[in-house]
Each structure stands twice: as C-alpha cells, then as structure tokens.
Amino acid sequence: MGTLKNNRTSKVFAADEKTEIRDLINRVSMCLDIGISLTDKERSSLPSVAKERMPYIRSALKAATHYPEVLSRSFNEEEFKKDVELTEFMHDVLLLLSDLTKKAEDIFLLAGSESFKSAGVVRDFLKASHKDNPAYNAVMMEMDAFFKRTNKEEKPEVPVDDVREVEL
C-alpha cells in the first residue's frame, strides 16, 4: 500500500493537450520529411559524424571557400556548404529531440513503474478476497497470465474494458 502514498506522478493530460502534443510532434516530423530513408546497410556504411568531427568539416569548408582553385571543377562548393549547414542544424535538432525524448522516457518510466506497483497492490487485494467472489479469481488469472508467458510474442488477450465489467 505504500506505493500509493508515494506516487510521484499525478499529471493527467486533457484531451486537447494530448492532441496538441501529437499535432506538434507530427508537424516537426512533417518538416523533417525530406525524402530520406536509409537502410540499415546504408547507415552502417556511412562515415560517422560525431560532434568532434564538426571542426574538421568547418575547416574544410573554410578552405574550400578561400582556396577554390585547388578544388576540381566537378566539386560543388555550394552543395558542400548546404550539407554543412544542414548537418549543423540537424545536430541542434537532435540535441533538442534528445532532451525531449529523455523527458518523455522519464515520465513514461516513472508513471509506468507507479502503475505497475499499483497493479500489484490491486492484485494482492484481489488475491486476499478471491474466495468471496469467483469473479476476482478470473481477473487474477488474467493478470497472472502476463507473467506466465514463455514467448515475448505471445500476449494474452485481455481487453481492458472486460476488466471493468467484472462485478466487485
């Protein structure tokens, strides 16, 4: 029962807040949809561009700008400049998304953990009272099925609405 008293999350997003969050994320996703979709093989074959490599890339751009005579005529300096600008911008975007993802993961982890603990408390109460009402035993068996599966692909079919219909 202690888990219910020490709940660190109690935020409930209103329907309009949920819609707004989803819409904003979808808008960002649409803005970033520039027709690029790499396969795993393509990803692994590309050179890694870590933050530490950006000074090297900027230095090369500066050299290309100041000394275009050393470059082959087929080298497209403007395209290189666009790629550098896009790389720098996407680095900033990734930092923002990383912070956003961490916030969402923290909320998900804490709320999920508290939900799981509370579910255990509910199950314990059902277990203690199952002799009084056979419906309690049926719900307990459904809940226990989640821990008895041998294959992660197998998930018991337990509609959430059915649990509410059980008379307690």
The 10s digit of each residue's pLDDT in 85-141 is 999 999 999 999 999 999 999 999 999 999 999 999 988 888 888 777 888 888 888
Q: Which amino acid is at 50?
A: A
Count: domains in the chain: 1
The 10s digit of each residue's pLDDT in 126-146 is 888 877 788 888 888 888 888
Joined together, the tokens standing for residue 99 give 């912070």
Domain contains 33: no
Domain contains 76: yes
Domain contains 117: no
Position 166 scores a pLDDT of 41
Domain contains 60: yes
Helix (H, G, I), strand (E, B) or coil at 157: coil
Position 152 scores a pLDDT of 60
Position 156 scores a pLDDT of 59
How far CA 50 is from CA of 57, 59, 60, 100, 122, in Å, comes to 11, 15, 16, 20, 48
pLDDT-derived band of residue 68, with 50, 70 and 90 as boundaries?
very high
Which residue range is the domain that position 51 belongs to?
Answer: 47-111
Domain contains 4: no
Domain contains 151: no
Residues of the chain with pLDDT > 90, as a percent, come to: 60
Which residues are CB-neighbours of 159 under 8 A, at least 6 positions away?
none
Cβ-contact 114, 9 below 8 angstroms:
yes
Which residues are CB-neighbours of 32 under 8 A, at least 6 positions away?
93
Domain contains 106: yes
Domain contains 79: yes
